[in-house]
Structure 1
Amino acid sequence: MEQSMHYGSDYKSIPAISVQAGAELEVLPDVYCVTLQIVNIAFIGEAGSNEFVLVDAGMPSSAETIMEVAENRFGAGSKPKAIILTHGHFDHVGSTIELIRHWNVPVYAHQLELPFLTGQMNYPEPDASVEGGLLAKLSPMFPNEAIQLGQHIQALPADGTVPHLAGWRWLHTPGHTPGHISLFREQDRTLIAGDAFVTVRQDSLYKVITQEQEVNGPPRYLTTDWAAAKQSVLTLAALKPNVAVTGHGVPMQGVALTEGLQHLAAQFDQLAVPDYGKYVTSGMKH
């Protein structure tokens, strides 16, 4: 139960920041993106409504900010119906326990992600040797131990529906992690992509800081299955999303998103897969 919830022994805040840190953006009337240091979370639901869901839980030590944003947007004392996790990396679950204790709401993730969220399995070590910039080199300092959410975490429904989000469905988009998911709303082709692809070159410290916008593959230093990551990008590109909120980088829409995602899908091996790294299998690069 609650007493058993805990983060990994390596959990800590990291001193990474971007120019978008603290930014809040109403992407759509019912999609609200908040940047916590270098990662995005999303509130899905109309402002002032008590029917909303939080997607991802940000960096360590972000809980107070997340609660404050929720109250400002949805009203004093408001709390989401649920927290949906795209995956369990530290920068997406960093404040989950504090939020559970404060709100007492259920948390959902893909069945294959549950071992990393129930203390059973640690993520592979970040790959500091991967081709990339300074953030990749700093990645060994990032927490990778499993967190323990106990009975508060449960698997998403197998039929692809999303609890408390009518009109949305979840898609299994593995590669970055085994149980990574993205959320899609067919009606207006809105995509919450997690880290299946991102809109900033996430291994480059300079581009993370400046948030230079470009459609990129998943963060290199934590992606362990590049063949699956490629298939996930092909799956998402085929949806032809009109709006995308990604785990890192500024939300994108319209032609820039469509063309950027199609280009990434077509040239994934060249654009996304690093030339070297311990999780790169031979034969992926041409």
Structure 2
Amino acid sequence: MRQDLNYGKDYKFVPVTSVGSGIGIELLPDLFCHTIQIVNICLVGYPESDEFVLVDAGMPKSANEIISVIEDRFGPNCRPKAIILTHGHFDHVGGLIELVKHWEVPVYAHQLELPFLTGQKSYPEPDATVEGGLVSKISPTFPNEPINLGSSVQTLPSDGTIPHMSGFRWIHTPGHSPGHVSLFRESDGALIAGDAFTTVKQEYMYKVFTQELEISGPPRYLTTDWEAAKQSVIKLEALKPKVAVTGHGLPMSGEVLTTSLKKLVNEFDQIAVPDYGKYVN
């Protein structure tokens, strides 16, 4: 068991939730998403198979829930081949250290996220002044110090392939974080977008709680490069995905996804970019 791994000193349970918390959705026979409070994890692989991966690791203190969801789908005492991170913000690595110790599996992330995953560098402070509602206002209470995964975290292969995710490739989609990646499978148009875009207005507590379906940009209070974020959405829309799981909000598919993504690209500055905030411009 690895004892050299640790969270930042500000790591703690974050008491926000939604009506979708605890609910899982099978989007494709080998693509399942599950909501933990306000964030989604993804399981890629066929049920009862031992060839599967976990994408992202939920909210702080969620490791037991993640293990339970995985064992329900893949069988008792199973373990993923790897954990793939879209990025390292607190709500995507919340159960990570317990999971790595429990399963002893590798974690993969983009090279540019590694400083935030090896204890070297904190993310910028969340912006409470950004245009938005209550979630934005309380965002400075969210953990932003780096976790330290030591040698358990590895860089995603530079050729775009993803270990143990045959058919998927990773796409660098920065803006929300420097090394943010999205995962795409050409054969069926499946997209795991992370926080490159969302399907809920993540800044507003009421909308987060009700999970009202609405295309939006990355969560504003943690997005520091809006021009890069816009280019990332343009890149993803060009792939013409047929089904998408985002880090926050309900999955989208078919014509709703196509028209929503097109609208987000065409109106990114109005829909996604806040009117004010310390990371705007």
TM-score (norm 1): 0.97
Per-residue deviation, 1:4: 1.8
The match for 1:203 is 203
Aligned to 2:79: 79
SS in 2 for 1:68: helix
**2:266 alignment partner in structure 1:** 266
Aligned equivalent of 2:3: 3
Give structure 1 stretches of 5+ with no counterpart. 282-286
Residue 56 (structure 2) aligns with: 56
Give 2:120's aligned amino acid: Q
How big is each residue's C-alpha offset from its partner over 1:213-269, in whole Å with a ceiling of 9 and x where there is no partner? 011000000000000000000000001110000000001101111100110011111
Count of residues in correspondence between the two structures: 281
1:130 alignment partner in structure 2: 130
Query: After superposition, what is the alpha-carbon deviation per residue over 1:76-102, rounded to whole angstroms, capped at 9, x for unaligned?
Result: 111000000000000000000000000
Q: Distance in 2 between matches of 1:51 and 1:131?
A: 43
Give the deviation of 1:270 after TM superposition. Answer: 1.1
The answer to whether the 8 A contact 1:2-1:150 is kept is: no
The equivalent residue for 1:36 is 36
* 1:275 maps to amino acid: D
Quote the residue 2:221 is aligned against. Answer: 221
| 1:175 positional shift | 0.2
Structure 1 segment 1-286 matched on structure 2, within 5 A: 2-281=2-281
RMSD over equivalenced CA pairs, Å:
0.7
* Mapped partners of 1:19, 1:229: distance in 2: 28
Q: Distance in 2 between matches of 1:261 and 1:145?
A: 32
Q: Deviations over 1:100-154 (max 9, x none)?
A: 0000000000000000000000000000000111110010110000000000001
In structure 2, give the amino acid aligned to 1:276.
Y
Distance 2:124 2:77 in 1: 38
Shift of 1:2: 2.3
Aligned residue for 1:244, secondary structure, equals strand
Deviation per CA, 1:150-209: give whole Å up to 9, x if none: 000010000000000110000000000000000000000000000000000000100000
TM-fit CA distance, 1:60? 0.7
Give distance in 2, aligned partners of 1:214 and 1:161. 31
Counterparts of 1:266 and 1:76 in 2: how far apart (Å)?
47
**Is the CA contact 1:5–1:149 (under 8 Å) kept in the aligned structure 2?**
yes
CA distance in 2, matches of 1:241, 1:3: 41
Q: Secondary structure at the match of 1:3?
A: coil
* Counterparts of 1:65 and 1:260, CA distance in 2: 32
Aligned to 1:284: none
Q: Percent identity, aligned pairs only?
A: 67
Query: Which runs of 5 or more structure 2 residues have no equivalent in the other structure?
Result: none
* One-letter amino acid matched to 2:32: Y
